[in-house]
Amino acid sequence: MEDIWKKLEALSQEREGESLRLRKGNTEAEIAKAEKLMNLKFPNDFRKYLLTHNGQEDGRNRGPWLLGSLAEIIEQWKYEREVEEEYIEISGEEYIENDTIQNRLNCPQWIPFLGAPYWDQDIAYVDLSPGPNGTMGQVIALVSECDFEVIAPSFNAFLERWLKEGEPIY
């Protein structure tokens, strides 16, 4: 994973002329505390990311997305629990995207890790509760007001996609 971060950093320098401004990673204790609070077990690749980096510092000029710090991830996850009761299901269908994603606007088993600075636009999640044809730990993204897509089968695959596409979501 360290190699891909070096490549993403080089890509940012080349395309945008600036660093990704990645923060120093979290401790095992901090991650364990977050997992306990959220009642989730983070996938190994996502856990490794959190040990390596704690999101991005704000203030970058590149794109609308920022990797959230562990504190921001928890804050957004808690916020989504508060509004969850209002948005349990958005249609009569239980799953979308060829039965890979639950048809909801949020879910306690979705870990928000990438979003706009105020988490009010496109958001990407590590999905720990996929549909029957989905993959545990897949990365899904809110790509419109209420539409989700699977953008990668894992967090590592998400990083590879980011490197290939030059942007984390599109």
Instruction: Give the count of domains, the chain.
Output: 1
- Contact between 58 and 86 under an 8 Å Cβ cutoff? The reply is no
Q: CA-CA distance, 83 to 85, in Å (whole number)? A: 6
pLDDT tens digits along 18-43: 889 999 999 999 999 999 999 999 99
Its domain, for residue 56, covers 2-165
**Strands 110-115, 53-56: parallel, antiparallel or unpaired by DSSP?**
unpaired
Domain presence at residue 60: yes
pLDDT tens digits along 56-98: 987 655 566 789 999 999 999 999 888 866 655 555 568 778 8
- Contact between 97 and 105 under an 8 Å Cβ cutoff? The reply is no
pTM of the full structure = 0.90
For position 19, which CATH number holds?
3.40.1580.10
Q: CA-CA distance, 157 to 163, in Å (whole number)? A: 10
Domain presence at residue 170: no
**Cβ-count burial of 57 within 10 angstroms (0-12 exposed, 13-18 middle, 19+ buried)?**
middle
